[in-house]
Structure 1
Amino acid sequence: MGVAAFLVGLPSALSFNRWQEYKFIFGRTFFDACDLLVSSYLLPLGGLLVAVYVGWIWPRRHPLADIVAGHRQQIVVRGWLLLLRYVAPAAVIIVLLNQAGVFH
């Protein structure tokens, strides 16, 4: 695992000195291209997948027990599910579309 981590991290480290003049993707160094990919696309996509999974696929008793433990008011439960199922995915989709340049 250490060798694999070293080999994966080597291009990122080299992009600060030896490979600084090489532009890989979108005119960026390897490190900057990886940073753009992860922070602009993969993190929001992961958030979208988590929201969809917890809101629609995960058995309802699990998140309700974890989030509203001891809270018996139905409005809290329904509000939380509404936000998780509809508002959060819509907001993350807007962020992804904005990063893709749809709104520019």
Structure 2
Amino acid sequence: MTTQLQIVDQERLKVSRYQIVNFCDRWKIIEFSLFGSVLREDFHPDSDIDILYQFAPNHGWSLFDIVHMREELEQMFGRKVDFVSKQSLQNPYRRYEILRTHQVIYRHE
């Protein structure tokens, strides 16, 4: 089991790497990425945090569980979170842009 974690901008996120790794391990998330304004200069105190995630196969989570995860992340980050599944990216233009610009900050291999 290998865990890869890239540098997180703790000034913007206000969470530790440990918190992100712990969250991902508990919820069987194998890839956790940031995209959108959190990676750009137009990130402001009232901006939400856009998160792209991918679960481990056979994770077994319900929609209720996913809502709970989003609420947990909002509490952890202290702001609104847009919690987007990599598999749910259906619009080809949106998918292309997100996958082109996202930054993986946790990957479990």
TM-score after normalising by structure 1: 0.29
| Structure of greater relative contact order (alpha carbons < 8 Å, 6+ residues apart) | 2
More strand by share: 2
